[in-house]
Amino acid sequence: MESSTKTAKTCTWWESGVIYQVYPRSFQDSNGDGVGDLEGVRKRLDYIASLGVDAVWLSPIYPSPMADFGYDVADYCDIDPMFGELAAFDALLADAHAKGLKVLLDFVPNHTSIEHPWFRESRSSRDNPKRDWYIWANAAPDGGPPNNWTSDMGGSSWEFDPTTNQFYLHAFLKEQADLNWRNPQVREAMTNVLKFWFDRGVDGFRIDVLWHCFKAENYPDNPLNPDWISTQGEKLKVFQKHSADQPEIHQLSADFRALADGYGERLLVGEICLPVPQLMTYYGTEASPGVHLPFNFQLLDAPWNAEALGKMITEYEAALPPSGWPNWVIGSHDAPRIAGRLGETQARVAAMLLLTLRGTPTLYQGDELGIGKVDIPPDRVRDPQDLRQPGLGLGRDPSRTPMAWDSCRFAGFSAAEPWLPLHGDWGMRNVAAQQGDPASMLELYRALLKLRREHEALSLGSFALLHAAGDVLIYERYQKDRLVIALNLGAEVQNIPDYGATTLLLATTGASMFSNTLAPNEGVILQRLNY
Ligand code: NOJ
């Protein structure tokens, strides 16, 4: 099996670090309105620090009509009253820093809310100075939308606006109008947004749908997807050849990067959902680097067998540019819960995989409790993606349910009924119940994070794939020491090769002895001796 010997040349906090995603609506409510807020996050910082992560990424907290729960921003330089105010953010940032945690915000450059003053102006008349800040086009000759582009949330990407008799573009909801990044004033205004937060002390940004920011000029039709079936949702009806991933995005990424680097060791993580070859281009070049970490989402839907995972990991490693640092994601507010997909015991193996691969891991709140499948009663569905295209399984609410802190009413999340229901087994599956229980998912995460911190081989070391067949995936991480990670992805006992004298550092099953046999759904980290 091919092996990779790439090692880190330098070590920034984010190369050796681990990111923890907080979805603020669902983390901790402090004012009893059933929705999480910044003061709630601040109160839970000790918990976050106790996990052993390095940075918190907060999903959007800006003023917003919440059509897409904050990804429809109405003011980039303030805080939505639902979450608090700027002073609450400053307090959170200061406390996080005092606890050694970095804070990343979510930057949403592709679109604003249609309630943003910029869009209100833009839509008011064709000759408004901000008209060109957004993307307006005339109807097609038949009177319909200007082209065949489909929104990721279903339906056309174009919304007719009767005030000025033109359509505006929205890659997502019609409440989220796409900005025109070809307009230098948009660049300047949004650059000022980044400066506003960097000056306040934030440590970086996760950049929402970065690859969407530029569209081909003149908006040609996208090629039709011949294999599309309606149950896939309308996003996949066409290939987004002209509506996303345009060459101009790379100069913009490089400009963002130069700005961030000018502030010192700040981090830009780009949300880019593209196949690996295109994804790699978002690292930029040596001369013109792009974002530090183009999110690598492959684990979210990778086939769960050793051969496929081994191939995916090796190909990703091999595709990285020389100075490109890898990263891995296994959950988010957009993706189904990993424990729901794999079951709890295998989710423990997945946690070991995530936290022992080479590259910066991003954890999603609640995965450390092993929250699995959640049923959202029809009358409690809130996700616009689900409401617009019901019955297709596109709903994101199950991943956005509130954190469960204890077994008190509403799980210690809020004094009021939460905006989304809790997971069904919250009474047992909560932080208080798992804390201190060595068999719990929470303590497994903590143990993995501790090991990752103790062994530089795990955070920064080289990676070599040793075995990937059937249900057994084995790889090695090495720097000063040499660790072998052996994962059983299935429910049968598996024998693994003899790697000489080893010490068992951690087993997902809690076992304390190891003799070349993996129990069903077991992962182990072994330290090689005398190699
Ligand atoms: C990606 C975000 O993660 C998702 O929640 C949102 O709906 C879209 N971008 C649009 O902003």
Question: What is 188-208 written as a DSSP string?
Answer: HHHHHHHHHHHHHT--EEEET
Whole-number Å distance, alpha carbon 108 to ligand 1 midpoint, is 9
Q: What is the mean pLDDT of residues 404-427?
A: 98
What's the whole-number mean pLDDT along residues 486-490?
98
Segment 409-418 mean pLDDT: 98
Average pLDDT over residues 118-122: 98
Average pLDDT value for residue range 395-414? 98
As a whole number, the mean pLDDT across the chain is: 96
Query: What pLDDT does 7 receive?
Result: 47
Catalytic member of 54, 271, 317, 367: 271
Express each pLDDT in 440-466 by its tens digit.
999 999 999 999 999 999 999 999 999
Which ligand 1 atom is nearest residue 396's CA? 5
Q: What is the pLDDT of residue 1?
A: 40
- Cα 75 to middle of ligand 1, angstroms: 17
In terms of DSSP H, where are the helices of 235-331? Answer: 249-262, 276-280, 298-301, 306-319
pLDDT tens digit sequence for 318-369: 999 999 999 999 999 999 999 999 999 999 999 999 999 999 999 999 999 9
Residue identifier of the C-alpha nearest atom 6 of ligand 1: 71
Query: Percentage of the chain surpassing pLDDT 70?
Result: 98
Active site residue 15: no
Confidence of residue 530 (pLDDT cuts 50, 70, 90): confident
pLDDT of residue 272: 98
> Please, which residues have CB within 8 angstroms of residue 42's CB and are 6 or more apart in sequence?
88, 91, 92, 95, 96
Q: Are 178 and 110 in contact (CB under 8 A)?
A: yes
Evaluate if residue 468 carries a pLDDT over 50: yes
Q: Best of 62, 106, 172, 272 to mutate for ligand 1, by most ligand atoms within 8 A of CB? A: 172
Q: Would the pLDDT of 3 be above 50?
A: no
Q: What is the mean pLDDT of residues 300-314?
A: 97
- 173 CA from centroid of ligand 1 (Å): 10
68 lines ligand 1 (CB under 6 A): yes
Does the structure show a pLDDT above 70 at 236? yes
86: confidence class by pLDDT, cuts 50, 70, 90:
very high
Average pLDDT on 395-409 reads 98
SS3 state at 344: helix
At residue 434, does pLDDT exceed 80?
yes
- Cβ of 159 less than 6 Å from ligand 1: no
For the CA atoms of 369, 27, 325, 242, the dihedral, rounded to the nearest 10 degrees, stands at 120
175 lines ligand 1 (CB under 6 A): no
Q: What is the DSSP string of 448-508?
A: HHHHHHH-HHHHTSEEEEEEEETTEEEEEEESSSEEEEEEE-SSS-EE----SSEEEEEET
Which of 80, 175, 208, 367 does the annotation list as catalytic? 208
208: CA distance to ligand 1 center in Å? 7
Contacts of 30 (CB under 8 A, 6+ apart): 37, 39, 40, 43
Q: Whose CA is nearest to atom 5 of ligand 1?
A: 334
Predicted confidence at residue 10, as pLDDT, reads: 63
DSSP symbols for 13-68 = HHHH--EEEE-GGGT--SSSSSS--HHHHHHTHHHHHHHT-SEEEEPP-S----TT
The answer to which of 7-16, 96-105, 285-294 has the lowest mean pLDDT is 7-16
Above 70 in pLDDT, residue 267? yes
Decide whether any atom of ligand 1 lies within 6 Å of the 219 Cβ.
Answer: no
User: Which one has a higher pLDDT value, 441 or 10?
Assistant: 441
Q: For residue 472, list its beta bridge partners.
A: 469, 488
**Ligand 1 contact via 71 beta carbon (within 6 Å):** yes
Is 208 a catalytic site residue? yes
Coil, helix or strand for 323? Answer: coil
458 close to ligand 1 (CB < 6 Angstrom): no
269 lines ligand 1 (CB under 6 A): no
**Predicted confidence band of residue 296 (pLDDT cuts 50, 70, 90):** very high
pTM of the model: 0.97
Q: What is residue 2's predicted lDDT score, i.e. its pLDDT? A: 38
Does the structure show a pLDDT above 80 at 74?
yes
69 C-beta closer than 6 A to ligand 1: no
The alpha carbon of 172 and the centre of ligand 1 are apart by a number of angstroms equal to 8
Check if 172 has its Cβ closer than 6 Å to any atom of ligand 1: yes
Average pLDDT over residues 142-157: 97
Q: Is the CB of 208 under 6 A from ligand 1?
A: yes
31-52: pLDDT as tens digits = 999 999 999 999 999 999 999 9
For atom 4 of ligand 1, the residue with the nearest CA is: 334
Cα 403 from Cα 396, distance rounded (Å)? 15
Distance from the CA of 134 to the center of ligand 1, in angstroms?
19
Q: 5: pLDDT confidence band, cut at 50, 70 and 90?
A: very low
What phi and psi values does residue 464 have, to the nearest 5 degrees? -140, 125
- Residue with the smallest CA separation from ligand 1 atom 2 is 208
CA 461 – ligand 1 centroid, Å: 33
Nearest CA-CA partner of 203 in 57, 337, 316, 354: 57
Residue type, 465: L
Measured from the Cα of 108, ligand 1's closest atom is 11
Centre of ligand 1 from the C-alpha of residue 518, in Å: 39
Confidence band (pLDDT; 50, 70, 90) for 531? confident
